[in-house]
Amino acid sequence: MGCRRCCDKANVTKGRWTPEEDAKLLAHTSNHGTGNWASVPQRAAVLERSCKLRYNKHLRPSLKPKNFHRRRREHIVFLHSMLGNRCVSD
């Protein structure tokens, strides 16, 4: 049993999203909602990309980017200096 076509890494486009791709994705989600993400690249005429990730992290209308408070930023820098980039499990 093979991997589904939507997961085929050979067809995935890497690099920056173009403004045209962002506009197509926003138009599609405003018309059809944020349902079946696997079908979005075919239906919205967007190249094979992570549409769900792009929408949720960059394009979602309710997204309001905020800065970290000074203490939280200092805490993150401190922990990174101690732990680096490694993953810490519970």
> Could you please report the per-residue DSSP string of 12-67?
---SPPPHHHHHHHHHHHHHH-S--GGGHHHHTT--SS-HHHHIIIII-TT----P
> What is the model's pTM?
0.52
Q: How far apart are CA 15 and CA 43, in angstroms?
A: 21
Read off the pLDDT of residues 19-71 as tens digits, 9 standing for 90 and up.
888 888 888 888 888 877 777 777 776 766 688 888 888 888 787 777 778 89
Sign of the CA dihedral running 80, 83, 89, 90: negative
In this structure, whether the domain defined by 5-63 belongs to CATH 1.10.4100 is answered with no
